[in-house]
Amino acid sequence: MVSSRTSAAEKEMGGAVKREKRYRAHQGFGDYHGGVTGAHTYFYADEAKCDQHMETFLHCIDASSGSSDDGFSAIKLTALARPQFLVRFSEVLVKWRRFFHQMAAEQGQAGWAVLDTKLELEKLQEALANFGIASKAESQQWFTGTRSTVDLLDWNSLFDSRIKLSRPLLIPNRKTGQLEPLLSHFSEEEELQMKRVLQRMDILAKRAMEKGVRLMVDAEQSYFQPAISHLTVETQRRFNKSQPIIYNTYQCYLKEAYNNVTGDVERSRREGWHFGTKLVRGAYMEQERERAAQMGYEDPINPTYEKTNEMYHRCLDYILEEIKHSRKASVMVASHNEDTVKFTLRRMMELGIHPSDKKVCFGQLLGMCDQITFPLGQAGFPVYKYVPYGPVNEVLPYLSRRAQENRGFMQRANRERDLLWKEVKRRLLTGNLFSH
């Protein structure tokens, strides 16, 4: 449980590492099932239990391969890694990105879109020297080539190499003016945890590739998600070179969803791998808002359902444009929303994306929204049913929450039933029961 553990590195420093509020343990949220409407979450027992979860996922990949020629299998990283490690790693990633945006604000770029934000290299090197982070000679070794600016992707790649250094990396707290450690050394235990979770993902990705199954990494709570997304992208870089095997999941109820999507698409372009994604609205809204209110940080969720819809369609449209222009992107539209499905079909037609291209597929939960699933399949679109599995005492509460969440769609199902019955009666009266 997240609330029960403190990292060894923090203990070594006497608790001197200041934690971002979102990434602190909170006793009331040790059980992170609470307030979750549409997803299953895992408790950490030990590394052996993580290995057992991996074996279960391997069986699931095999089952998916046996039931479909082009199937999917979903995994959760909280089943494969200690949640406290994911929280701690997420905090490090967020601090590193925030420092970039703070420096961008000083260069007059506050609030700019992530791909438009570029730091002038000379000013960046001066700032790093002034803060005592690195001399100009040191920072010149970090930035190679003839570039004159540094964007967030360049900055993040710098983090990937700097994290391996033995001495702590210090960054300034802009409020206090004091230098603080971005990360005290990961303990040996945490280094091992990092290696183990990457090894487990590697094993799962190799099995998926062997079996012709695509692997979806589910999104989870926002205080886990930066680490989950980072580890997923690292796996995509290795396994999506010729086709999209690994799919990352983006939660469009998050305010930062569009920046996350556009940043990762741009990285896939620069490095030449296939971008695979599942777009969802999100399953942790109530819990996220309650936790933010209790712990005193900004609510990460869009303020209204309408804003979430706008975000979903904005992210989806960006990916569809990428499919049209590069053909190296694929998306699962995981939605029970009829308007979103209609929006996708209209944009596919406008952009000339044909169902047979198999770049766009749709997904709904098994037993729900069949009035959306079946017409899509009959029209030739790739469409999948998400099949939950596990102990009955865990699966039934999950399904009941999803049924409650989707109770509005039952009215649409009734309408679909009424239309079908009307059509049956029309054909009976005209004597054309088995013809159009």
The pLDDT value given to residue 147: 73
The pLDDT value given to residue 166: 36
d(CA 246, CA 429): 52
* Tokens, residue 290: 């309650």
The pLDDT value given to residue 175: 64
Closest CA to 221 of 285, 307, 280: 285
Burial 18-55 (b: 16+ CB within 10 A, else e): eeeebbebeeebeebeebbbbbbbbebeebeebeebbe
* Helix (H) / strand (E) containing 335: none
The pLDDT value given to residue 122: 87
Quickly tell me which residue has 């580890």 as its tokens: 231
- Angle at the Cα of 275 (from 272 to 279), degrees rounded to 5? 165
First to last CA, the chain: 58
pLDDT tens, 319-360?
Answer: 999 999 988 999 999 998 989 999 999 999 999 999 999 999
The pLDDT value given to residue 76: 93
Average pLDDT, the chain: 81
User: Residue 345: helix, strand or coil by DSSP?
Assistant: helix
Q: Are strands 360-365 and 329-334 parallel, antiparallel or unpaired?
A: parallel
d(CA 291, CA 36): 12
Supply the DSSP symbol for 27. Answer: G
pLDDT tens, 380-407?
Answer: 999 999 988 888 887 777 777 666 656 5
Quickly tell me which residue has 């899509």 as its tokens: 376
d(CA 411, CA 418): 11
d(CA 209, CA 193): 24
* Helix (H) / strand (E) containing 160: helix 152-162
The pLDDT value given to residue 307: 95
CA quadruple 233, 239, 244, 246: dihedral positive or negative?
A: negative
Q: Are strands 246-251 and 360-365 parallel, antiparallel or unpaired?
A: unpaired
Contacts 24+ apart (CB under 8 A), 229-235: 229/260, 229/264, 230/89, 230/93, 231/77, 231/197, 231/198, 231/201, 232/77, 232/201, 233/264, 233/267, 234/198, 235/198, 235/201, 235/202, 235/205
Contact call for residues 371 and 413 (beta carbons, < 8 A): yes
Residues of the chain scoring pLDDT < 50: 1-17, 27, 30-33, 37-40, 163-168
Helix pair 257-271, 152-162: axis angle to 10 deg: 80
pTM above 0.85, yes or no: no
Residue 301 dihedral angles phi and psi, to the nearest 5° = -95, 145
* Tokens, residue 432: 């054309």
